[in-house]
Structure 1
């Protein structure tokens, strides 16, 4: 495993649509391992491959719940329910947070590192994280969706 450099906005790689992974190879396993280590080292809860400069549909997440580390290859959100409005930040946009409206419950399908199809349903923070990371795969940043953006150290104004 190795730490990867996290790409920062406005790097154009963050605005590109990622390509599906056609075959899970040892390189994809290494990418998953490196992304998880990089995410934990940066104290993040999610990381998408374009954030380390790789235009592949790969994400990792760990929101500190019973699911632990979630690795998804070619994730696709298949259902959304409810609504939440809350703060988001991003390892690729240090120093800023924003209030983003998201679905409160989502179901995502994808492949695990063994190529097996998995389905995960998440609510609240996990739902927010899934949507945030899948957005990265489509070149969308939280700042594109935020109703308000503010410095991390500041509290949002009411």
Structure 2
């Protein structure tokens, strides 16, 4: 798992995703059982440690989807416990309460093209956000360096 800090957010994101795909192939069932959290899901912090990346990288939509698919596979294999009806209900309540933010969402009446556009736009914004976070971190490090030089 490489950790080249000079890469931009997109290529690092691709690298982390590839690392996850590789990790899935080599992680043992016992290792998976060791990183199950209280919600009977894989602990994202432990996954980020295994991939040598930040927690926020593991929480990107792309990674979340990949991890959820992996969890579903492992549930079918009996490695992870099956989700109960209560857990499924709790998950759907979380999603709806997080996405609405107190406002009703407009009903989606658009075509498949509109959906594709929105997905692409969302992906572009996530990518931009990741790049900006990396730049912000770099500026913070530079600020600390300058502060140390002034002292």
TM-score band, normalised by shorter chain: under 0.3
Larger fraction in helix: 2
TM-score by structure 2 length?
0.25
Higher Rg:
2
TM-score by structure 1 length?
0.25
Larger fraction in strand: 1
